A and B are shown apart, each in its own frame.
Chain A
Amino acid sequence: MKILGIETSCDETAVAIVDDSRKIHANLVLSQLEEHSVFGGVVPEIAARAHMDHLDKLIKGALNDSGLTFSDLDGVAATSGPGLIGGVMVGMMAGKAIAAAHSLPFMGINHLEAHALTPRLSDDVAFPFLLLLVSGGHTQILLVRGVNDYELWGTTIDDALGECFDKSAKLMGLPFPGGPNLEKAARQCEDLEAALKRFPLPTPMKGRKGCDFSFSGLKTAVRTHIDALPAGALKMEDVAALSAAFEHSVCETVISRCKNALEKFTTIHNGPERPALVVAGGVAANTSLRGALKNLTESYEMSFIAPPISLCSDNGAMIAWAGVERLRLGMTDTLDIAARPRWPLDPNGDKNRAAFA
């Protein structure tokens, strides 16, 4: 079963072909970094125009790369939300047209579900597993019971973690995209202890019940430190120290929230297999966070799965894979499916979170 996957919900135009044996036949990602860098963030209309300009070439490219033709495909999957709706429309309409032209089943994919199912593509992880989804738009802890079967345990009550990375990096004068550049700056810090003393930062929600996150206070604290530094150009060593302190706070916060989730997960999960904590989403590329999560899972005798970075950030392979998972279960969509700017994975999320906390 070979599925074409199309992703256009943010600032990556991506097309891939994946089959049900988990083989990736083609995986093309075109990042719009340059288009948005002068604005210091993703501009929705610029993103939508760029998707329009490049998508058909990427579709042809994916077929060329794989040596396949449309008649080799068994279905088409395209992100239908959540995300920047102008971009989502471009990819979703492309998917619908291809499906109609070749009488193929169409799957309108929830972008978050694609992230959630990625560890099954990369590592064949069995259900149920615990998922930490951290990206520019989302910060969630979910119990993944199966395809289309999620229980939300925690989410951010304000900024997403990736957003907090990007905004803090911007405050520090680091170029767009903020997250990776902040991580690079943090690596230049030679004395973490000194950095933590010099730039004390809060660890929001640490020690509280439940799994919810909050990051706006952390961003504000970064701003306060930056504003207190002498006027004029910032010293790179200060930026490095503040970046390291920031990453430290982030890890402390995330670990505290995940710890509560692991405690609960171990009480409800009594299968024979060693269960997994999976991290997915763009922020899952952060090395310090991966290290901290790995340490945490070891003390709970859980395995830690982090898909390769190329499959953590937005890509078409995860969309195609979600298409494989859904088509195998007969979960196809009609071609009148609407794009959804908001699309929670767990429709009862608020209730489930409240029950937890």
Chain B
Amino acid sequence: MPETPYYVLAIDTAMAGCSAAVFDVNADKTYSICKQMPRGQAEHLVPMVQDCVNQAGIAFEDIGLIAVTVGPGAFTGLRIGLSTARSFGVALDVPVVGVTTLEALAHDYLSQNSLEGHDALLVVIETKRKDFYWQAFGSDGSELTEAAAQDAGEAVLWAKSKGFACVMIGDACERFTSEVPEHDFRQEKEYFLPSPEVMAKVAVSQFSKGMARGSEPLYLRDADVSMSKREQRVIEQNSK
């Protein structure tokens, strides 16, 4: 079993916020800064991390584990956090554990609420396109579906096929409801941004079980590329 770290640094910039926290595992105490921030994370993140480390009264060398959201979310945003987290990992020679935005939100909700007669928790996250990032979780936080980027109808179909009553959270709830108003999910407000405290706890729990996710980005979508419409001419193979 990997040794449990004493201090965990958690970082999130994958959605419309910028958050950092230092979690003191033994004291079960968190020093965190969370801000709503659709842009500007690249400027704010590292000074926020420094502030958390100072608030916790520790030095960077005391950090034993780093937790970071790997997505799904905004591509550039999630890379801001990931590159920062991985580089702290290299610089401090400590492991970096990835937490998905979907599981961070799910664990945050489930740590404070029960599903109260519902069968599943649906987390829906904004893609800023037509579709949604979504995933279903059980009341114990277990994953009932794979994380996916799909139209709202797919989530509704899944719930119907299982005959599940669902609670829905996430920053795309309202758009989801406006697109498929016929759904009967119970919509919960708040839980729009991953909590770095929850991320740190999820990371420690997974890490100490030897089940931690790596820090590979979870984009759920290929890069947009447009091929040139003008056909490129070819050069004769055997000509001089």
Contact = CB atoms under 8 A, between A and B. Distances in A.
Give the residue among B232, B233, B240 with the most A Cβ atoms within 10 A. Answer: B233
Contacts of A94: 83-84, 86-87
B225 A43 contact: yes
Contacts of B217: 49, 52
Given A56-B90, A100-B49, A93 B75 contact: no
A21 B84 CA distance: 30
Contacts of A95: 87
Given A56-B90, A233-B234, A236-B239, A93 B80 contact: yes
Interface residues of B, number: 40
B83 A233 contact: no
A188 B240 CA distance: 9
Interface stretch (A287-295, A320-328, A335-343): A335-343
Nearest to B82: A52
Interface in B93-150: none
Give the residue among B47, B227, B235, B239 with the most A Cβ atoms within 10 A. Answer: B235
Contacts of B223: 43, 45-46, 49
A96 B84 contact: yes
B28 interface: no
B83 A234 contact: no
B17 interface: no
Contact of A85 (B49, B76, B234): B76
Interface in B66-86: 75-76, 79-80, 82-86
Interface residues of A, number: 48
Contacts of B165: none
B186 interface: no
A98 B93 CA distance: 11
A97 B240 contact: no
A86 B74 CA distance: 11
B75 A48 contact: yes
Interface of B: 40, 42-47, 49-50, 60, 75-76, 79-80, 82-92, 217, 219, 223-225, 227-228, 232-237, 239-240
10 contacts: A45-B223, A52-B82, A55-B87, A56-B89, A92-B42, A96-B84, A100-B88, A173-B235, A234-B234, A337-B43
Interface of A: 39-40, 43, 45-46, 48-49, 52, 55-56, 59-60, 70, 85-86, 89-98, 100-103, 170-174, 188, 226, 233-237, 239, 334-339
Given A85-B76, A101-B91, 19 more contacts: A45-B223, A45-B225, A56-B90, A89-B76, A92-B42, A93-B79, A96-B46, A98-B90, A98-B91, A100-B88, A101-B60, A102-B60, A172-B233, A233-B234, A236-B235, A335-B50, A336-B43, A337-B43, A338-B42
